[in-house]
Amino acid sequence: MVKAFTSNTSLPPCNSSEPPPIPFHPQFHLKPSTRRHLITSLSILITPFFAYPKLKYDPLNPFSLPVSNARGLFQMPPVRLTNRYFLVRAGESEYESLGIINTNPVAKTSVDNGLSEKGKKQTVRAAFDLREMRACEGSCWIWPSITQRAYQAAEIIAAVNGVNRSRIVPEYSFLDARGLGAYEGKSLDTLSEVYESDSLSPNIKPPPTDDGTPNESVSDVFVRVTQVMSVLETQYSEDTVIIVSPDSDNLTILQAGLTGLDLRRHRDLYFGPGEVRYVDASSIPTYKQPASKVYKCLNPPSCT
């Protein structure tokens, strides 16, 4: 027979608004010190885990918390790279074969912006260079600009290296050819003027134009290629990525950023059409003082 629980505590009348007191029993009452320990334990459990950034998870300790080792924002130069990278410039384009500058993104998917016959041969050679370097041994991802010549180059690289087309990931804006503004449609020989300005400051833009062609400084391109690397370093881990650019400037500015080279000297890292390069910090050329270090303006703001 179960005995009814009894106590000496009198119950309030049924019409009372006060809750009935909890009867005393050793099982339901803790010593003050015990209550403090319990409250402390509960506070540890409900404290946001970001308050313990260095706490390691210990399966034998129920009060330890697992901490996520999330990657932070990508910085140039990076502390380390999660993936390995190959940089490829697409072969010569139809416009380049005519000696004409063409960087307007409106026409980037046009057939006229594709590889010339010479450019196709240069790209095939680049694809075999990648195979010789075992770039896609195991697996790799190919990231080309959506620009016609760069995407054609990616398809050739995939075919030669036995890469499934599903591993070609077109990039729609961050890898566009550098917009050269008023130089659009001019001779390729005039590029020397652009690079002279680059050597003075990475913030100097080519003159603007009204045909929709961007006029991008080195710093503008640097922002774009940094965004590409941020995406790649977040999306992949311990993979191989082949970046295919329609021009040299994307790649020289990217490699300068990755290796910590002064952006004013990005031209020192020039990529020829169809050139392949593995990202390697030891590939930095011998240091030369940038023009801005020796250039003196005698009559500012007129410095001619």
Q: Is residue 197 part of a domain?
A: yes
Residue 138 lies in a domain: yes
Band the pLDDT of 47: cuts 50, 70, 90. Answer: very low
Cα 191 from Cα 183, distance rounded (Å): 8
Sheet arrangement for strand 276-278 = 141-144, 240-245, 84-89, 276-278
What pLDDT, on the 0 to 100 scale, is given for residue 37? Answer: 56
Element (H, E) at 241: strand 240-245
Amino acid identity at 191: L
Answer yes or no: is pLDDT of 223 > 50.
yes
pLDDT tens digits along 273-289:
999 999 976 666 665 55
Residue 292 confidence (pLDDT) above 80: no
Q: pLDDT tens for residues 227-243? A: 999 999 999 999 999 99
Average pLDDT over residues 14-41: 52
Split into its structural domains, the chain has a count of 1
220 part of a folded domain: yes
What are the tens digits of pLDDT across the range 71-123?
A: 557 888 888 889 999 999 999 999 999 999 999 999 899 988 999 999 999 99
Range of the domain at 96: 84-281
Residues contacting 160, CB < 8 A, separation 6+: 124, 127, 128, 130, 131
- Whether pTM > 0.75 for this model: the answer is no
**Domain containing residue 277: CATH number:** 3.40.50.1240
The answer to whether residue 78 is domain-embedded is no
